[in-house]
Amino acid sequence: MLADLLITNAHVLTQDPAHPRAGTLVIHGGRILAVDPDMDVPARTVFDAEGLTVVPGFNDVHSHSVWFGLGLMETALGDARSLEDVYAAIGAASAELAPDDWVVASGFSPLLLGGAQPDRDRLDEASGGRPVWIKHSSGHACTLNGAALDLVAGTQDLAAGIDGGVVVHGEDGRPTGLLEENAMRLVQELMLPYPLETIEKALELATAHYLTEGITSVTDAGIAGGWIGHSPREFGAYQSARDKGLLSVRMQPMLVLDALRPLSGHSDDGGGLGLDAGIRSGLGDEWLRIGPVKIFSDGSLLGSTAYMSEDYVGCTHNHGYLQMDAGELREQALAAYRAGWPIAMHAIGDAAVEHAISIITEAQETYGLNCFPNRIEHGGVVQPEQLDRIAEAGIVLVPQPHFITEFGDGMAELLGPARTELSYPAAGLLRRGAVLPGSSDRPVSNGRPLDVMQSFVERLTPSGRTYGPEERISAEQALAAYTTGSAAATGTSAEKGSLSPGLLADLVFLDQDPTTVHPSRIGATQVLGTMVGGELRYAHPDLPSFPNTAEDSR
């Protein structure tokens, strides 16, 4: 048999304990055919890797691709380090718009500005009276200017209470423009849904960018509903993007709980929450597959709305809140699980984590295991005994260590020393035998996997302080998190995660071995090429000349 591709002279970190290092890979039909074969294997194409390090494709199990892709089309505020920077960016964007157009900006982080929030009146001036919608990087708040607030007030009562959200008012009684959590729906009702073509374009931009970072698989943590969705038909945009060749990496989108509804059917079927026709998690193939149901329990650590068992430091009587009544949260989560939807519950504060553990363990004990592992997203503060129960129940905790690199000083100030030691655990999970995946929560944080791996290892804040040093892990463990760990977290270990015979030929060419360099140099590792299903989809100019498969096969 003539194989499709033979990769030689490589330093392969297979992530397969049975054969951890190799020099040769044989690829055929989009999968690994052999690793270090005992005999010569004829191949249509031969690639001399010239000693480059080869690792399995990186798998980010908690990202937001549409949100990220839209951000690439919106006014970027991620580099703003003062309110004047914000006003200047809004002014520059406004100069290119019609008088009635909205100025939509993203990536704003109050923590990077010492908690400062834009002034609604200054935003009016900067935008020339155009409505302004600033999306915070946390995803749990947004800021409007006066013009936008006036448009919202035309259809909504800004003084009315909102379950699981707040319209912030100043001492003068006027709304400041800051909308927290579910209050963001007020502006979204004016601006959403996005056209499906816009969502497809966002996916095209996002997934093309992923390839440059070695990402070959992504789980999008929440689409099609709630304040995190962009259209009730959002999954259809993923399908169309795939059909049109715009989806460059493998995707596992999670539908949010709001997108599910009560199911009818025979009384023996058990009812529950789901999609029409009984469509549920697991439908799809290795390119596009419906993931668990995403459920929000609490808010954001960055916005001091995550639900803690104790108050935030310096914030008397504020320990965050749940986004829905605890009893309703449990009832809806169990109803979805009963209908075949594994749970992925957003829980950042330790009080929210407690609710998540209780609900997931009850679901598993009552209805058994589902098609994918149940998950707790984030874990901003997790008590040691909670880690014990998470590991015992086989729940996957999905932390984002790069939050420490970007926001660690602000988070430590809000949490205090004791809770900082319990924040975004990693080593504690591995010590207990639990799964540790790799994830970023992009665009809340930088999603480049090699940078996140460095954060796993160093856990240093922007000021250079060590954040929970007992939770540091090795570079080898960080690489495993983004490969085998992520595959286990997404229930796809039989398909990917290691470079083993029979598994998908998703792999990355690197200019150095990130497991042997100094921890401070892990992020300096360059991605020189990314292969998905045996096809080279990204090539850096420094990648050794890759043979043209089409020419070789003629």
Give backbone dihedrals phi and psi of 62, rounded to 5 degrees, phi first: -150, 95
According to DSSP, the β-strands at 527-532 and 3-8 are unpaired
pTM of the model: 0.92
Looking at residue 547, its pLDDT comes to 85
311: left (phi over 0), alpha (psi -120 to 50) or beta: beta
Q: What H or E segment, with its residue span, contains residue 334? A: helix 326-338
CA distance 374 to 46: 42
CA quadruple 181, 187, 190, 195: dihedral, nearest 10: -60
C-beta separation of 493 from 480 below 8 A: no
The tokens describing 427, both together, are: 């080593």
Specify the long-range contacts of residues 29-32, CB closer than 8 Å, at least 24 apart.
29/4, 29/534, 30/504, 30/505, 30/533, 30/534, 30/535, 31/502, 31/503, 31/504, 31/505, 31/533, 31/534, 32/499, 32/500, 32/501, 32/502, 32/503, 32/504, 32/505
Low-confidence ranges of the chain (pLDDT < 70): 548-554
C-beta separation of 157 from 192 below 8 A: no
The tokens describing 165, both together, are: 């959200």
Looking at residue 548, its pLDDT comes to 67
Give backbone dihedrals phi and psi of 329, rounded to 5 degrees, phi first: -60, -50
Looking at residue 53, its pLDDT comes to 98
C-beta separation of 486 from 437 below 8 A: yes
Looking at residue 554, its pLDDT comes to 26
**How far is residue 63 CA from its own chain's centroid?**
2
Looking at residue 490, its pLDDT comes to 98
How many Cα atoms are found within 13 Å in the side-chain-facing hemisphere of 526?
A: 8
Looking at residue 403, its pLDDT comes to 97
Looking at residue 552, its pLDDT comes to 36
CA distance 90 to 77: 9
